[in-house]
Amino acid sequence: MVLTLSTSAVPPPRERCVIPPCLQPRAPLSYELRDEHDRRIAPTLVGYKLRRGKTYRLRVVTQEQTAAGWRLRLVAPRSVVHTQAPDEPDGNRRALSFDIGSPLSHDWLNLIRSEVRSLPVTLNFDNGRDPYHFEIPVVLLASRFVRFGSFLATALLSFLAAGIFKETPSLPSATNLGLFGGAWAAIFLGCFAWDQIKFYGQACQRVAACADPSMT
Amino acid sequence: MPNSLLTLETPAPAPATEHAGLMSFLRGKDNPFDVFVAARKPEADFARVHVPDIHQDIARALNAVVERYRLPGLEWDSDLPRSGVVVVEGKRGIGKTHMVHALQRRAGDGRPCLAVTPVIYEPQRPFMEYLLHQVVRHLQSEADERAPGTLELLADAFTRQALVQALRGMTEIDWLAREAAAGRFWRYFFGVGVRLRAERRRRLIHDLEQAGDRTLREVCAENEVDFQPLRTLALQQIRSEPSHTIAGQIRRGLYDRLVGLAFGAPRETVYDFLLDGYTEVDAKIQPARETLVDELFQALLELCLLARLPIIFLFDALESLLGDPPDKELCHPFFKGLADVLDSHRGIPFLLFAEIGHWQQLEKSMISSYALQRIQQGVIRVPGHGSLSRMQMPNVTAAQLQKIVASRMRPLLREYFEADSFDAPPIFPLREEDLERIVRSPGEEPPLRQALQALRDRYDERLGNRVALAPAAQPSAAVAEGMLIEPLEACWQRELRKARQILEAGCGGQADELHAGLLKWLQCLIADGVANGAGMPVAAANDPQAGAHPTYGQITKCQWRAGTTTRALGIGLLLGEKRAMPRDLETKLKMMAGPVRPADLLILLWPRGSDLTPPYHEHLPAGTRAMWDQFAANGTGPRVQLRAVAPVDLAPWLALPKWWNQIATETPHASASILNHFVAEQTAPHLAFIAPES
């Protein structure tokens, strides 16, 4: 058996940093998430709302405001995020593009439900400072067409089924259509309400943690 | 007594017609040259008597040494300059102590530094521990109810930076949640108005980063941020990092107290930590006392250096600290300790101010080659001066003396003429020939103090307040002693008053000074042969390491003779307050509980109040009483005598070392026997406090 060592170099003995860790300027000066059209994603109390199957770009500026001397990494599960390439300098910051996993990639329930997750980000410094970790809360939304598409697909299936079992395919009556639309709207609203309740709970938890830090 | 510099010829008094009104005005004022001895601490009139042009080169070099340790971009261990020593030599009265005051006041550039000027030296205490206690004592002594001290400035700077990093470490969503806790939940829930909130955070960070004259509370008020949540945030930031090591725990404890202080906690919380709290670490094996002290000192030093606040140790009047002639019992541990610190710690400058002859004696026989080589290395890479290890303060020239006279006369002339420019020579009523005569020929200039004394006498003569006297006959020994008592008494009362003020404010942090004074007092009594009905002390020594605790493990040992029997007494002071009191008592009782004891009997003085009635242990607070009872049950009780005294009863011991040093400077011709006798007379009743009860 052969043990395969990691390709990362064994770090040489590091000099002691005199600055206490709590004062070290390791946290980013700012960061932002941008969509495929380079629009900034605005935060909400629950997190940044990202759509499944889309590509986003994370840009981070450190307190030194330079792109050299540090690296940006996104260490999220592959089922959630897939990074396209290593980070790259982008002016005085570093940027990283990533895709949110498609709704069908792992769990079919992702088609209709949203999910609150967090993206773990790590800043690795070349000068021997300890790495800095932080998490960006995100809401992975189901694609807005999925719910409508599922409605059409179900309606089409229903129409085809009627054709097969009734031998004379016909358009659904207004009553059937209304009934079906109502049922679908109820499901749609149910899903929406369920998401909002989840978000509300999450937001309340976050606010309460800020009001009483002992909860964290 | 007229100064010898003026006895060569009798001066002509100023003509009465010359500025007659001014002469009359000056006669009604104090002599501006009557201050010619610098006290141990800078006095209120320092700015009035300070003339920057005097010893300017030395001052510039010493300021450069201080600046060498003010580091703009400190980040790594190797950024810290090596510790070094600069020896400043000069004749007695040349202005060394004034130079120390100028450095303390940063008269050069006004940039702050922590200038620690030890008044006592404790040879039995490990040197690093001694330095730490001196720093703590310095911080305590500069505390003022009105103005913030170094500790407050440090706490403020530290907390601001911790908050900046904590706020930077918050994601936008954390910040929104914090804002939503104060209202507007639904707006932020749907992401409305979030940009404005982000701007608010940016402004708060910006204000915290500015080291202006606004306090933390004012920054909070301006930014409409609650004070308490920010305190919690700063504490969270400190506690977010793991601290499993001894150093980590000590640092976290220190940072916690600093944040508390910045948010309005009393400074005593920090003092308590610096004296006692740091010893309470969570470890499977209790770390050595040296480790704890080293880690705390290093944490404090690095914090000060990060705040661009160098810690300088200014050892003034080495002859007072190390004995004159040098005492090897004091010198060897001092220089060995100094050399060890130079080897093991970076970032500390030491400035030694010594009399020329005294330093030569030290170099010749009291400093080992190991220590001497380290001292001779000096402070390296001082900007504009290269390596500095030794400097000599020159005598004062006529031109410099003229500047001194002009500086001291200016306020009086301004007052008389009610203008900044006046129709009189700036040195009026003195004349240039007076100054030339005082300064004598080049190479024979007198030390500054002697010149000032001569100026004082000449000034009086010029104003006709005093007639020039012929050299007086040598007074008899009795008369000389009688003349000496007056300054001794005046100085004693002054120091006693200061000591009482300090003790009334709290004596928790005064253990080192009190024990040093206690030892000096015992030495005086022994030399003077003082006894009371219970016996007399015959030998004394301090033992700071009798107990395990760096602050509370100290006692003064005393051999007490009563008739033909001699007992080894230990004298301890129960100075711990509140939470620290049980620990203080426990440390003292533990010394007496083991089979190897530092003394046969421990006299424990509790500065609680003289109105208590024995048995005093019944008046101890509950936690401390429990500790007492626990040891009493183990059979330690008979070996310890607890006595209550009023805090001000300790004042003579606190005052004595300072008084002794002051007298050594002001009245160098006072013999040790006179001083011993004076102390014995003033303080003999105190012997009852330490006399063992049969």
A56-115 confidence digits (pLDDT tens): 999 999 999 999 999 999 988 887 888 888 999 999 999 999 998 876 666 666 667 788
Q: Are B587 and B547 in contact (CB under 8 A)?
A: yes
pLDDT at residue number B340: 95
pLDDT at residue number B65: 94
B173/A23 CB distance under 8 A? no
Does residue B25 or residue B129 have the better pLDDT?
B129
Residue B262 has pLDDT above 60, yes or no: yes
Q: To which H or E segment does residue A177 belong? A: helix A174-211
Mean pLDDT of chain B: 86
pLDDT digits (tens, 9 = 90+) for B185-201: 888 887 787 777 778 88
Q: What mean pLDDT comes out for the span B64-84?
A: 92
Does residue A116 or residue B183 have the better pLDDT?
A116
Other Cβ atoms less than 10 A from the Cβ of B469: the count is 13
Sort B166 into a burial class: Cβ within 10 Å, 0-12 / 13-18 / 19+: buried
- pLDDT bin (cut points 50, 70, 90) of residue A216 is very low
How far apart CA A106 and CA B614 sit, in angstroms, is 82
Residues of chain A contacting B161 with CB distance shorter than 8 Å: 23
Phi, psi dihedral angles at A138 (to 5 degrees):
-135, 155
pLDDT at residue number A212: 64
pLDDT digits (tens, 9 = 90+) for B288-340: 999 999 999 999 999 999 999 999 999 998 888 898 889 999 999 999 999 99
pLDDT at residue number B244: 83
Q: Are A102 and A53 in contact (CB under 8 A)?
A: yes
pLDDT at residue number B462: 84
B190/A44 CB distance under 8 A? yes
Is the CB of residue A20 less than 8 Å away from at least one CB of chain B? yes
Interface residue ranges in chain B relative to chain A, Cβ cutoff 8 Å: 74-80, 158, 161-162, 165-166, 168-169, 171-174, 176-178, 180-181, 185, 188-191, 194-195, 229, 232-233, 236-238, 240-241, 251, 255, 302-303, 305-306
Q: To which H or E segment does residue B602 belong? A: strand B601-607
Query: Which of A22, A63, A136 comes nearest B241 by C-beta?
Result: A22
Task: Report the residue of chain A nearest B164, measured CA to CA.
Answer: A23
Closest by CA to B405, choosing from B434, B426, B436, B422, is B426
Does residue B66 or residue B449 have the better pLDDT?
B66
Instruction: Please report, rounded to a whole number, the percentage of residues in chain A having pLDDT higher than 90.
Output: 34
How far apart CA B202 and CA B192 sit, in angstroms, is 18
Is the CB of residue A60 less than 8 Å away from at least one CB of chain B? no
Task: Say if strands A115-125 and B390-392 run parallel, antiparallel, or are unpaired.
Answer: unpaired
pLDDT at residue number B2: 46
- pLDDT bin (cut points 50, 70, 90) of residue B444 is confident
A203/B172 CB distance under 8 A? no
pLDDT at residue number A206: 85
Query: Which of B165, B173, B194 comes nearest A137 by C-beta?
Result: B173
Give the least confident one: B145-149, B409-413, B501-505: B145-149
Q: What mean pLDDT comes out for the span A112-120?
A: 84
**Alpha carbon distance, N-terminus to C-terminus of chain A:** 45
Give the least confident one: A179-183, B127-131, B486-490: A179-183
Residue B248 has pLDDT above 80, yes or no: yes
pLDDT at residue number B1: 46
- pLDDT bin (cut points 50, 70, 90) of residue B127 is very high
Residue B8 has pLDDT above 90, yes or no: no
pLDDT digits (tens, 9 = 90+) for B562-579: 888 899 999 999 988 888
Residue B62 has pLDDT above 50, yes or no: yes
Does residue A99 or residue B45 have the better pLDDT?
A99
pLDDT at residue number B224: 80
How far apart CA B157 and CA B250 sit, in angstroms, is 19
Residue B156 has pLDDT above 60, yes or no: yes
Q: Is residue A9 classed as helix, strand or coil in its secondary structure?
A: coil
Residue A47 has pLDDT above 80, yes or no: yes
pLDDT at residue number A110: 66
Q: What mean pLDDT comes out for the span B273-300?
A: 91
Helices (H) and strands (E) in chain A, counts: 2, 9
A45/B188 CB distance under 8 A? yes
Residue B641 has pLDDT above 60, yes or no: yes
* B169 min Cα distance to partner chain A (Å): 5
pLDDT at residue number A215: 44
pLDDT digits (tens, 9 = 90+) for B500-537: 888 887 777 788 889 999 999 999 999 999 888 889 99
How far apart CA B55 and CA B62 sit, in angstroms, is 11
Residue B473 has pLDDT above 50, yes or no: yes
Other Cβ atoms less than 10 A from the Cβ of B390: the count is 15
Helix axes A174-211, B172-181, angle to 10 degrees: 80
Does residue B475 or residue B307 have the better pLDDT?
B307
pLDDT at residue number B159: 94
